[in-house]
């Protein structure tokens, strides 16, 4: 499992993931409120899935 606070590199990757998720949610909510809610659910699920992946050992600093 990925820990976004283990290193700066992983925190930075998590930040990028959050920015992408925010853009998707805002874009969907602009079209339709309920589409925004659905996008939020999908984005949160996507981030949870991403966090459950094993990180690349090359990016580890510990």
22 binds other proteins (CB under 8 A): yes
61 binds other proteins (CB under 8 A): yes
The Cα 12–Cα 23 span in angstroms is 17
Smallest gap from Cβ 13 to other proteins, in A, equals: 9
Smallest gap from Cβ 17 to other proteins, in A, equals: 9
Interacting residue with other proteins among 2, 9, 38, 55 (CB under 8 A): 9
The Cα 37–Cα 1 span in angstroms is 27
């Amino acid at each position: 499992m990925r820990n976004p606070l283990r290193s700066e590199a992983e925190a930075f990757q998590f930040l990028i993931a959050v920015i992408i998720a925010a853009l998707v949610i805002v874009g969907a909510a602009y079209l339709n409120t309920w589409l925004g809610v659905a996008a939020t659910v999908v984005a949160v699920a996507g981030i949870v899935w991403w966090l459950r992946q094993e990180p690349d050992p090359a990016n580890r600093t510990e």
